[in-house]
Amino acid sequence: MVTRERRAGARWVYYMDRIRIIGGNPLNGVIPISGAKNAALPLMIASLLTSDTLTLENVPHLADVEQLVRILGNHGVDIAVNGRRERQTDGYSRTIHFTCRTIADTTAPYDLVSKMRASFWVIGPLLAREGKARVSLPGGCAIGTRPVDLFIEGLQALGATMEIDGGYINATAPKGGLIGTRYTFPKVSVGASHVMMMAASLARGTTVIGNAAREPEVVDLANCLNAMGAKITGAGTQTITIEGVTSLSGARHRVLPDRIETGTYAMAVAMAGGDVVLEGTRADLLETALETIRRSGAEITDTADGIRVVRNGGGIKPVDIVTDPFPGFPTDLQAQFMALMTKSSGVSHITETIFENRFMHVQELARLGAKISLSGQTAKIEGVQRLRGAPVMATDLRASVSLVIAGLAAEGETMVSRVYHLDRGFERLEEKLTRCGAIVERVSD
């Protein structure tokens, strides 16, 4: 059966779409890197903090972005693409204007939050601007339980009352607004760091966040908030200081390049062989991952506007990795690196430390002939000489793309189902790969 759901705008997405790959071709050419999904989402949410227009350039055209557009619309954000009022264009990354004159609704309902976890982050701006928010708890997801205790503790430290009622968090700011504080996270969280920065920007007094996430997306949000009039220093280090201001204004900000998309295509080249320039990206966003790919045998060099990845002839060497918060090896590239290691010339180990259930790709890679065994949070990968194409599916975004990478280096046909996972985070994946010589097509039954 074919099920379908309407995307914002005119295009229909067939949820039973599949990606068909005929493996064996090297990749040669240029791949443009899109704006980062994980930067665009918090930046879009920051538009709730001001009644002026926040203009974001280089917003990727992805299902998650469209979903957040719907969620923000519910809160009263008016959205225009490239100055026009429709939300859909056929181009790559777009410029979008977000204007929230008044907050229309301080409730983020379950049916919206459960579809995309990051929408829980609206709790920060709603609480800071309106003094209250009722936001559904997001629940677990395929990669782990993903609790929200750090958000609750952080916002409580800013003086908010946080009550859980019927699957929702009711957050209320003290009379007069949130109050600056010193708070150190017991564990590094990207989302909780975003939310604390947004909430503290409109708090009274100064907030100092300890053990903050250092991810480039946190720095991007801080830069955008500062352009809106916030006073944030230290983003990109473990200590972020936010001097509260009474209001924020509009701004124009360009979303930074997607380091996970960059790493994914770099690993695709390292796996399939070839010579590809990844255009519009920055090596400093993913040094640890690039160094790891180099150790596996690919050459990576800087170009004027990106990086060049080459692997011609030589084999793939085994490399051990442990995922870690930035600047460590990103969990969002773990599945893709495992795909690469399935064809290495020896034994490698991959340890996942961020999410407790992020190994769903293991069984699917095994269907292509990979030899992987799991022991707790560590996977042992014994490289094989050949992978063979097969029908596969995955239950999250990065796991799905790891199967595409493996399919590029497998003999024969690999059919990846549940393509909607890929559409959440990879803009025009099949087009970008096809232009470099891969045989990849979307199949709609």
**Which residues are 251's β-sheet partners?**
54
Choice between 150 and 277, CB closer to ligand EPZ: 150
| Binding piece for ligand EPZ, criterion CB under 6 A, among 11-19, 91-99, 145-153, 155-163 | 145-153
The most distant pair of C-alpha atoms in the chain lies apart, rounded to whole Å, by 67
Task: Report which residue's Cβ sits closest to ligand EPZ.
Answer: 191
Which of 66, 332, 352, 427 touches ligand EPZ (CB under 6 A)? 332
User: Given its phi and psi angles, is residue 166 left (phi above 0), alpha (psi -120 to 50 degrees) or beta?
Assistant: left
CA 219 to chain centre: 15
CB of 109 to ligand EPZ, least distance (A): 19
Backbone φ and ψ for 443, nearest 5 degrees, come out as -115, 120
Which of 144, 167, 314, 391 touches ligand EPZ (CB under 6 A)? 144
Q: Do you find a cis peptide bond into 109, omega within 30 degrees of 0?
A: no
Q: Which helix or strand (DSSP H or E) is residue 400 part of?
A: helix 397-408
CB of 371 to ligand EPZ, least distance (A): 26
Q: Is 263 in the site for ligand EPZ (CB under 6 A)?
A: no
Backbone φ and ψ for 64, nearest 5 degrees, come out as -65, -35
CB of 355 to ligand EPZ, least distance (A): 5
Choice between 23 and 60, CB closer to ligand EPZ: 60
Choice between 47 and 331, CB closer to ligand EPZ: 331
Q: Is 189 in the site for ligand EPZ (CB under 6 A)?
A: yes
Cβ pair 388, 410 in contact under 8 A: yes
Choice between 126 and 335, CB closer to ligand EPZ: 335
| Contact set for ligand EPZ, span 90-129 (CB under 6 A) | 117-118
Cβ pair 368, 414 in contact under 8 A: yes
**Which residues are 232's β-sheet partners?**
242
Q: Is 140 in the site for ligand EPZ (CB under 6 A)?
A: no
Query: Distance between CA 235 and CA 383 in Å, rounded?
Result: 40
Sign of the Cα torsion 301, 303, 308, 314 reads: negative
User: Given its phi and psi angles, is residue 376 left (phi above 0), alpha (psi -120 to 50 degrees) or beta?
Assistant: left
Closest CA to 184 of 208, 148, 158, 203: 208
Closest CA to 70 of 12, 8, 4, 11: 8
Q: Is 186 in the site for ligand EPZ (CB under 6 A)?
A: no
Q: Is 201 in the site for ligand EPZ (CB under 6 A)?
A: no
Q: Is 222 in the site for ligand EPZ (CB under 6 A)?
A: no
Helix or strand or coil: residue 279? strand
Which of 398, 418, 421, 432 touches ligand EPZ (CB under 6 A)? 398
**Which residues are 29's β-sheet partners?**
276
| Contact set for ligand EPZ, span 339-358 (CB under 6 A) | 354-355
CB of 93 to ligand EPZ, least distance (A): 16
CB of 146 to ligand EPZ, least distance (A): 4
Q: Is 192 in the site for ligand EPZ (CB under 6 A)?
A: yes
Q: Is 187 in the site for ligand EPZ (CB under 6 A)?
A: yes
Catalytic member of 100, 141, 224, 436: 141
CB of 212 to ligand EPZ, least distance (A): 11
Which of 60, 191, 274, 306 touches ligand EPZ (CB under 6 A)? 191
Q: Is 162 in the site for ligand EPZ (CB under 6 A)?
A: no
Cβ pair 64, 422 in contact under 8 A: no
∠ at Cα 328 (313, 209), nearest 5°?
A: 160
User: Edge-to-edge strand order for the sheet containing 53-59?
Assistant: 78-81, 94-99, 53-59, 251-254
Residues 11-50 as x/- pattern, contact with ligand EPZ by CB under 6 A? ---------------------------x--x---------
Q: Tell me the one-letter amino acid at 228.
A: M
Known active-site residue 224: no
Q: By the criterion CB under 6 A, which residues form the site for ligand EPZ?
A: 38, 41, 117-118, 144, 146-151, 187, 189-192, 331-332, 354-355, 397-398, 425
Give the catalytic positions in this structure. 141
